[in-house]
Structure 1
Amino acid sequence: MSTLLWVLLLLLLVYSILPTILIRLFGIGVYKKGRGGNGIALTFDDGPDPEYTPQLLDLLKKHQVKATFFVLGSKAEQHPELIRRIHLEGHLIGVHNYVHWANAFLPPRKVRAQLNSSIAVIEKITGETPIFYRPPWGIFNLFDFLLMKRFRVVLWSLMVGDWRSSGGKERIIKKLLAKLSSNDIIVLHDSGQTFGADEDAPVHMLEALADFLDICKRRGFTFLRIDTYTQIDELAKRQPASWVKKGLIQVWLRWDRLFHWWFNIRPIDLHHPIFYSRVCKYKGKPLQLDNGEEIRSGDLVLELHFNNERLFHMMAESNSMVQLAVHMIREVQRFLPVLTAYLYMHREVRGVYGVTMIHRGSRQLGFTVEQLPEGLFKKASQLYLRLLLYVFHPNGRERLEASKSQLSPRIVAISVQELMKRYPVEPSMTAAETRSFAVQG
């Protein structure tokens, strides 16, 4: 290999390969995934496209979903009406260079010129200056670190290869559901005209996205623009929490994982674990349910445990115990048809029960709410749940003082028969959703 070629490879290594590796692996100066809430950020690259972007906007409007579009300045210039529509329909517009060239092959001056041209086009159309930037292919050069003072650079946590047509929509939806988790930033593409892409690939992306949005709605996910995501995370950073409390939270979450492993407690829905559960024998006094049924000692029940990591985020976002209860009720309402489907695979189970302090609204959902019998278990449960509130809530001490009368743990239970009557399995539930928890049974 000639000396010149070695020099060129070394320059490429220093100029682009090492900066890209550092940024992609360690997230230096970029935004890759949200940290708070239960949202998903949908982002779309390479547009606007006169054929596929209008279809995408119609689909997002139908589902009342807001997204983020990283557009090419050259295409924005060719299709100002699409940029105007994206903006007017409440979506966020970011920059994806003027043309789809990798920063590895551009000098710093050319990268700045591409960004300035794109910003000028978008400003002229919308009247607003974009501050979010995603370089093509997520490739950086050494001087892009300087851009991080001017832009919020956004990458992704979930990519599914939707720029290829092979496998159709089934491949895309399968990858989305297999890898999806709360706070993901998903990258999709509303154009197939860039290097390496199939021209008809957006057809399959749109078909998969339609199914995906239906599934996410049932699972209780919300969709956020990138700027909303970053605002939530900045707010979370400002919330008062000592290093001791942060340490306690981490210790508690690790204990949770150990507890779940030891007692074989698993999520109902592997891709959206709102609740964890185990099938076990009920031990205690007979539970007389509101529908006339009874759960007796020795009956098989599904014991529910709320996902404490999700609870932590919900507490951080709630201003009061009442607001927290409302959030939990909404989550439970979305979850119950999934629980019904799960119990069809466990016909031997007689009822579902758990112990919680946040039981407001449970009766309206069909659950029986009972006092815990006096004794050691009640005292231990009360101590555990109050400690949980103190550790997880940003203002836990104040909440405990203000809500002592409300913080009494209750048994919450429902029979399987009543659950199936009130929350039948939705006909539109897909096979992919069923497979997401079938491996447990």
Structure 2
Amino acid sequence: METLLLWLFYISTFYAFIPGIISRIFGYRVFRRGIGVKDFALTFDDGPDPQYTPKLLDLLNKYNAKATFFVVGSHAERYPELIRRMHAEGHLIGIHNYVHKSNWLMRPGTVCKQIQRTDDIIYGITGERSTYYRPPWGIVNLFDFSKRRHVKIVLWSAMFGDWRTNLGVDRLTEKMLARLNPGEVMLLHDCGLTLGADPEAPEQMLAALERTLEEAKVRGLNSIRVDEMIKAAEKSSLARMSFSKRLLVGLWLLWERCFHFLFRLRTVSPALPFLHYRLRAYQGHSVSLDDGTTLSKGDQVIELHIDNHQLFELGMQSRSAAQLAIRMIRRMDKDMPYLAEIIAGDDALSEAKALYGISMINRGPEKFGFTVKDMPKGLFASLTKFYLSILLSVIHPAGGARLKERSEALVPKIIVMPVSQLLDSYGQKCTGAKLHRRQAAGPEHEEDMAEAELPGAHAH
């Protein structure tokens, strides 16, 4: 009996658990997120539903938004007029199995039959085959990867728990707005009949979605179909990465999440994160500040960190080092006044002596009032240089070639600024500003800007 249980454990681990972890963390053979600067994707699972799907289609039509529906085959078979309407109104129709059952609980042949049967139903209604597939609950098994030539597995980058009514419209709206970013693939549900869901939950989803679409309109963001987002992503540098580099990026971004959790970083602009910070006691050597004071061990500092995910995306979207630097400078320029506003409104932060960070390649921070200082030689400096060298090779448009060209310049530096100087420089600019408005601005055309060096990747 123990041997049988052990074999079942091994089989379930290799059949389901490990493939699920690989796809979720590293995005192996699945699509989870796009790279657009103005587009995001709304995706809806479990429908169609005769009560809520027509309301959803009306709402999408009102805001000229296109979406992707991963339909349950048995529901599509029951309500063909809704599938016909989705197709006629320009939405993408994907497969969500014939019945809403986990792939972990089905043999590979059964999963294939579920997909084929649903595809046949969609084809019989619309005259078009579906090549996009989302397994129920996003759970993949080992053999799902082998079906890649026949269907494209689509997961998501943002999930909100909209299948439960206890969340409430306001909280759901808040969660959706916090993830209303370019490239996001949002998971929502237009049917509440799935096991574990509340039947009335889609009503709350529709109310929160309307608020979200209204805000997207203000920010100039558009909801597009997943196939359009995939085509854009396939043209990017990311799609041409080797698996080893994709693995490195996945590990790096996983470390980003762990670091944020462990050290409780806060974000200047949560809806479009770029600059993070935390209050801590300074532990380094004494540093002279521009205001004549000295930063000493034990003094409170506001430690700054640039968001690794945003840094990676900016690197992938940039055609040159100069363009990457310009985009980083512009993002930093938008966040600095709001950082000053946050500090001014927080007694603990305003009592800190200085802003502090570690930077690599150091033309740029002076623009914002930072002073660049050499790091004392030692183990920390060596480890920091090693980490930032890997970081730069990942996000820099020239990749590892940049390290060979300018290896002597890749020296980590301290960037530091008295908090009083930040408040004096930016305090008047941000008085009375509405924080959410900063999220409306998107990347501008950078080609007409003068060339600049990469201002630095801050160490985690």
Match of 1:85 in 2: 89
Look up the SS of the partner of 2:89 in the other structure. Answer: helix
TM-score by length of 2: 0.59
2:351 corresponds to which residue? 348
* Counterpart contact for 1:94–1:131, Cα < 8 Å: yes
1:150-169 superposed matches below 5 A: 150-156=150-156, 159-169=159-169
Task: Report the residue type matching 1:277 in the other structure.
Answer: Y
Cα contact 1:133–1:152 (8 A) shared by 2: yes
* Contact kept in structure 2, 1:49 and 1:75, CA below 8 Å: no
Q: 1:167 to 1:226 in 2, by over 3 A?
A: same
Counterparts of 1:121-132 in structure 2 under 5 Å?
Answer: 121-122=125-126, 124=127, 129-132=129-132
SS in 2 for 1:421: coil
Code of the residue aligned with 1:31 in structure 2: it is V
The 1:295–1:274 alpha-carbon spacing in structure 2 relative to 1, beyond 3 Å, is farther
Q: Which residue of 2 aligns with 1:113?
A: 117
Code of the aligned partner of 2:398: N
- Is 1:389 equivalent to 2:389 in the alignment? no
SS in 1 for 2:332: helix
Residues 45 and 96 of structure 1 are in contact (CA less than 8 Å); yes or no, is this contact kept in structure 2? Answer: yes
Deviation string 1:95-134 (CA, Å, 9 cap, x unpaired) is 2356767786978656523321213433x3xxx6431012
Q: Deviations over 1:273-318 (max 9, x none)?
A: 633434467964443xxxxxx5743596534232345434432432
Q: Give me the whole-angstrom Cα distance separating, in 2, the residues matched to 1:248 and 1:164.
A: 34
Greater CA drift, 309-318 or 223-232: 223-232
5+ residue gaps, structure 1, are 1-12, 288-293, 431-441
The corresponding residue for 1:10 is: none
Deviation string 1:160-214 (CA, Å, 9 cap, x unpaired) is 4423333422454577689999987542112346676544322211333455678
CA distance in 2, matches of 1:222, 1:330: 22
Give the equivalent residue in structure 2 for 1:439. Answer: none
Q: 1:416 aligned to 397, 415, 423, which one?
A: 423
Aligned to 1:306: 306
Distance 1:273 1:146, change over 3 A: closer
Letter in 2 for 1:232: A
Distance in structure 2 (CA, Å) of the matches to 1:102 and 1:358 = 51
**2:453 aligned residue:** none
SS in 2 for 1:119: helix
Q: How does 1:8-407 map to 2 (within 5 A)?
A: 24=20, 27=23, 31=30, 33-34=32-33, 42-48=42-48, 52-53=52-53, 56=56, 67-72=67-72, 73-74=76-77, 77-79=80-82, 80-87=84-91, 92-97=92-97, 109=113, 111-122=115-126, 124=127, 129-136=129-136, 147-156=147-156, 159-170=159-170, 172-173=172-173, 185-192=185-192, 197-210=197-210, 225-227=225-227, 228-229=229-230, 232=233, 235-236=237-238, 238-239=240-241, 266-268=265-267, 274-279=274-279, 284-287=287-290, 294=291, 296-298=293-295, 302-308=302-308, 310-332=310-332, 335-336=335-336, 339-340=339-340, 342-343=342-343, 344-345=345-346, 346-349=349-352, 352=355, 354=357, 355=359, 357=361, 363=367, 367-368=368-369, 372=372, 384=385, 389-390=392-393, 392-393=395-396, 395-399=398-402
Does the aligned pair in 2 maintain the 1:98–1:117 contact within 8 Å? no
State the secondary structure of the residue aligned to 2:350.
Answer: coil
- Alignment coverage as a number of residue pairs: 393
Cα separation, partners in 2 of 1:23 and 1:229, compared to 1, 3 Å:
same
Change beyond 3 A, Cα 1:58–1:319: farther
Letter of the 1:169 partner, please give it. Answer: V
Relative to structure 1, the CA distance from residue 260 to residue 350 in structure 2 (aligned partners, 3 Å threshold; closer, same or farther) is same
Instruction: Give the Cα separation in 1 of the matches to 2:17 and 2:258.
Output: 31
Say if 1:356 and 1:411, in contact at 8 Å, map to a contact too: no
- Once residues 310 and 22 of structure 2 are traced to their aligned partners in structure 1, the CA distance between those partners, rounded to angstroms, is 25
Post-superposition offset of 1:399: 3.8
Shift of 1:386: 6.8
TM-score (norm 1): 0.61
> Kindly, what percent of the aligned residue pairs are identical?
32
3-state SS in 2 of match to 1:31:
coil
| C-alpha spacing 1:71/1:109, structure 2 compared with 1 (3 Å) | closer
Provide the C-alpha distance between the structure 2 equivalents of 1:179 and 1:257, rounded to a whole number of angstroms.
19
Q: Distance in 1 between matches of 2:187 and 2:52?
A: 16
Once structures 1 and 2 are overlaid, which stretch shifts more, 170-179 or 78-87?
170-179
CA contact (8 A) 1:40 1:222 kept: yes
Q: Report the aligned-residue RMSD.
A: 5.9
Task: Call closer, same or farther: CA 1:26–1:407 in 2, change over 3 Å.
Answer: closer
> CA offset at residue 429 of structure 1?
5.5
Distance 1:179 1:37, change over 3 A: closer
C-alpha change, 1:21 and 1:158, in structure 2 (3 Å) is farther
Cα distance in 1 for residues equivalent to 2:57 and 2:326 = 31
**Residue matched to 1:437:** none
Is the Cα–Cα contact under 8 Å of residues 98 and 118 in structure 1 kept in the other structure?
no
Separation in structure 1 between the aligned mates of residue 141 and residue 247 of structure 2, nearest angstrom: 36
Cα 1:250–1:101, aligned 2, differ >3 Å: closer, same or farther?
Answer: closer
Q: For 2:253 and 2:167, how far apart are their aligned partners in 1?
A: 42
The aligned amino acid for 1:266 is L
- What are the Cα deviations for residues 33-59 of structure 1, in whole angstroms up to 9, with x where unaligned? 449799975421134557645664676
Query: What are structure 2's unaligned runs of at least 5 residues?
Result: 1-8, 438-460
CA distance in 2, matches of 1:224, 1:84: 16
Alpha-carbon spacing, 1:220–1:78, altered in 2? closer, same or farther (3 Å): closer
Partner of 2:448: none
